[in-house]
Structure 1
Amino acid sequence: MVGIGPGGAADMSPRTLQALQTAGVIVGYKTYIDLVRDNIQGKEIISTGMTREKDRCAAAIEQASAGRRVAVVSSGDPGVYGMAGLVLEMLDASGKLDDVPVEVIPGITSATAAAARLGAPLMHDFAVISLSDLLTPWETIERRLEAAAGADFVIVLYNPASRKRNWQINKAREIFLTFKEPSTPVGIVKNAARQDEEIYITDLENMLHHPIDMLTTVIVGNRSTRLAGGFIVTPRGYAL
């Protein structure tokens, strides 16, 4: 399982590049395959569209069980909302976990890629929460939002909105406003470290005035988070 980070070679680790080069079969969501296509010339490619994760994992397991070297590609890190967990679960369920060698290769996450573009918003404790209720009941997500906001975590939002699903980001903001000041800094990064990157630095009151979609990572500060020039900083607490 290979994490490609944002997708550019400059942000991939040497282990990731080596795994892509030595694999005979590359498996992944077609959008992520396109990000690494220059690095996988001549490879057999198995790709599917969104929501076909189980199909991709099954294909990867079939190829690996036949003795082939397979790289299952995830953007960001494969163990953070990626494919690593599902592959391991399916190998375990099929009784093949002890027979198929597995390596999980980490990658730069959307949270850290976006944070780097904003400055240093994650210098203190933070929580990462996906707003997608496709696999997690909204009631569970809402409790997590309330708990994180109530404990004054910096909060990173993954999968904040899509064309068919945009009310969750509105609800998340409502929850945050019960615990955080409207002036709390918010960073919005679309396509972090990719072509067509967009960066917006705003606050909790005005965050919904900016475009937010599935390619966007939203970082909401805590009570100490502040602006420093064109950057967002959450102080660690060092005496200056």
Structure 2
Amino acid sequence: MYPITYLTDCVGGNARARLSTRIGALFGQSPTIIALDDPDPESFAALTLLDCLRSTESLGEPGHPTITLLNLAPRDGHWPNGVPFCFFRYGEHLVASTFNPRALALVRRELGITEVFVTDIAEVLEALDFDPVESERIITTQFRSLWYLPLLAKWVTDGRAVPSTPTPIPVTPDEGPLVTVVDNFGNCKLDRAPAELKLAGIPRYPHLTAVPRDEPGLIPGSSDVAELVVRGGSAAHYFGLRQGDRLDDRRAQDLANRVRPLAPQ
């Protein structure tokens, strides 16, 4: 049995129930379902996927292979018949996903996963001798993340010969640091390392307890990307940030202006 995590923008109760039941029927256990319902779900998915894979490291003992599913179609309208699904491995760990360059951007940059294996649903179902009537149902449904993606993960996990095309992950434009996650403490996780950021007036610290109480700082967060914090408070509230906000030059200057009252006189 494999630990299964499913990151998806289909997050209603009905959607969770059918996803859990279908994956349970295929794998013998239901997944942990993570909602991608933030203002910028692609950036949230990118860091969460990176964190899921990084969390399998440094176990101190042999670990178990995991499966991570990611369902999040790009919002660019480029795929009139639906974005294709792909898969890749990180060591022993399998990821099966919609082919979404923004959602895959951080595993590309941080883990060196520069290409994935893109699949065509009709080609895969035909090659694996799937029932033709059921194949047509899966090919034409709008619920491909329910009907096809779990099957893809199961077949790859079982070592079946799934037809696929190695495809580079496109490099997405760098438009400035982005708030990818705001956690329950109000800490703002960004999409790059602290040393790569230039936020005037906000000093860097090695960890949270080194930050003076009630003052802001940049620390290494999960997967070593930067985390903007206010020790003992909420950085999101203090700086007026939310998930999906981009720290362009104007916004960075605004942050600096907010810090000045806290600086020593």
TM-score relative to the length of structure 2: 0.27
Q: Over alpha carbons, which structure has the higher Rg?
A: 2
TM value normalised by structure 1: 0.29
